[in-house]
Structure 1
Amino acid sequence: MKTLGLIGDTSWVSTIDYYRFINQGINDKFGGVNAARLLLHSFNYADIVKNLDTNNWEAILKMIVGAGTGLKNSGAEAIVFCGNTTHLVAAEAQQQIGLPIIHIAEAAAAAIKKQGIKTIALLGTRFTMEHHFFSDKLQTAGIAVLTPDKADRDFIHETLLREMGKGIFKPDTKAAYLRIIDKLKQQGAECVILGCTEIPLLIQPADTDMMLFDTAAIHSAVAVEFALA
């Protein structure tokens, strides 16, 4: 079994899920008291948000490369970012760290393509929805991408950072997300990518008739496959 290096607290809320999903995946395979071989570097989320607010991706890349290099030196054989947004610098980080980074968008694209879906709605931070690091992977797989309008993108971004990133999940926020999903359905979306790893804690399959793709769960499953390959 390979050792995975997790880069977490982007935010801690979803990092918990990654730790649970990956360990559960290994235990499902081997049973008993078996668990994954994991190393974790957990950031102070405030440092991440400060740089997101100022669009300082150079600083974020430096943080991630430092964390990834430390994990590599401790024995990690691949890196898993416990979130979507930081994949904006995944290509540069992989080159500088010198280890494979298991890419969340590639994992999501493969899962969606397997279902034969052609058009998806993408929800996430402003960076995930507006930059191309996620949508390009989907489009390469032949999947068209719809995103909310600017006002809705701003609302989603702010609630992810200021509420869900702190473990706060409000009924009014949930209702607003469901309205946004319904608008995207009317525009032709066949399913929804919950492209920030906190969103599945707010929106559950029972809340909508749209198929939901939980990127944290999908990404973790691919990480388990890598560890066992």
Structure 2
Amino acid sequence: MRKIGLIGGMSWVSTRTYYEDINQLVQARKSTSASAPLLIESLDFTDLMRLSTPEQWAHAAQVLCDSARRLEQAGAMALLIGANSMHKIYDTVAAAVSVPVIHIAEVVGAKMKADGITSATLLGTRNVVMESFYRKRLVAHGITLLPPVIEEVEEVDRIIYEELMQGKATRAAERTLKTMLTTMGNRGAQAAVLGCTELDMIVDVDANVLPIYDCTRIHAEAAVDWMFG
């Protein structure tokens, strides 16, 4: 297996999920005693969350580029950015290294296209849902995304930052997301994209009112595909 590097810590909760998913997939393909050849750099999320100004994003780009270079120098032959929102600076990070960086929205979009999905709703932090950097990758695969409803966007953003990134998953948040998904299905969504690496804490990925495309799981699957070549 080829060695992969993960830029993590954004948040540590989602990094834990990546580690678990990747290793379980490796075990399923190889043997129950196998584990993934994986390098992880866990960044301090304190100065990387809720970014809004160009200066803040420029600082984040520098932090992630430095991390990507360290992982490459340590032997990683491909990289993952373990946060949907940080794919806003994907192009800058990818240009900083000579190894491939697997884009989370690209692999999600490809899987949805293969499954015949043409209409979906996108859930995530405010910047993922409202800005174009993530949406356009899915649209390029022939997927029409429901227009965001600002009240829903703000509530999901609050749950992510104030609860899930602190490691808290509440029944109230589960009910809120299930209600939203039901409403989005009534608006015409064939499926839902979990564009936040923590949302699987409160959304049942395998049994819900809509088919769920869990970006973290799909990203991990793409990483393991690459490991096995």
* Distance of 2:146 and 2:69 partners within structure 1: 36
2:96 alignment partner, SS class: helix
Give the structure 1 partner of residue 25 of structure 2: 25
2:182 alignment partner, SS class: helix
Task: Indicate if the aligned counterparts of 1:64 and 1:93 stay in contact, CA closer than 8 A.
Answer: yes
Residues 34-183 of structure 1: matches in 2 within 5 Å?
34-49=34-49, 52=51, 56-183=56-183
1:194 alignment partner, SS class: strand
TM-score (norm 1): 0.94
Q: Which runs of 5+ in 2 are unaligned?
A: none
Task: Indicate if the aligned counterparts of 2:181 and 2:209 stay in contact, CA closer than 8 A.
Answer: no
Q: Structure 1 pair 53/135, CA: closer, same or farther in 2 (3 Å)?
A: closer
Q: Structure 1 pair 178/147, CA: closer, same or farther in 2 (3 Å)?
A: farther
1:52 alignment partner, SS class: coil
Q: How many residues align?
A: 228
Q: Structure 1 pair 171/32, CA: closer, same or farther in 2 (3 Å)?
A: closer
Residues 199-218 of structure 1: matches in 2 within 5 Å?
199-205=199-205, 208-218=208-218
1:209 alignment partner, SS class: coil
Q: Structure 1 pair 213/206, CA: closer, same or farther in 2 (3 Å)?
A: closer
* Distance of 2:66 and 2:22 partners within structure 1: 23
* Distance of 1:147 and 1:44 partners within structure 2: 33
Task: Indicate if the aligned counterparts of 1:147 and 1:184 stay in contact, CA closer than 8 A.
Answer: no
| 1:179, distance to aligned residue in structure 2 (A) | 2.0
| 1:98, distance to aligned residue in structure 2 (A) | 2.6
1:122 alignment partner, SS class: strand
RMSD across aligned C-alpha pairs, in angstroms?
Answer: 1.6
Q: Structure 1 pair 73/82, CA: closer, same or farther in 2 (3 Å)?
A: same
Task: Indicate if the aligned counterparts of 2:83 and 2:196 stay in contact, CA closer than 8 A.
Answer: yes
1:81-117 CA-to-partner distances (Å, cap 9, x unmatched) read 1121111111111002232110100110111111111
Identity %: 28
| 1:64, distance to aligned residue in structure 2 (A) | 0.4
Task: Indicate if the aligned counterparts of 2:206 and 2:212 stay in contact, CA closer than 8 A.
Answer: no
TM-score (norm 2): 0.94
| 1:137, distance to aligned residue in structure 2 (A) | 1.3
1:133 alignment partner, SS class: helix
| 1:205, distance to aligned residue in structure 2 (A) | 4.1
Give the structure 1 partner of residue 227 of structure 2: 227
| 1:45, distance to aligned residue in structure 2 (A) | 1.9
Q: Which runs of 5+ in 1 are unaligned?
A: none
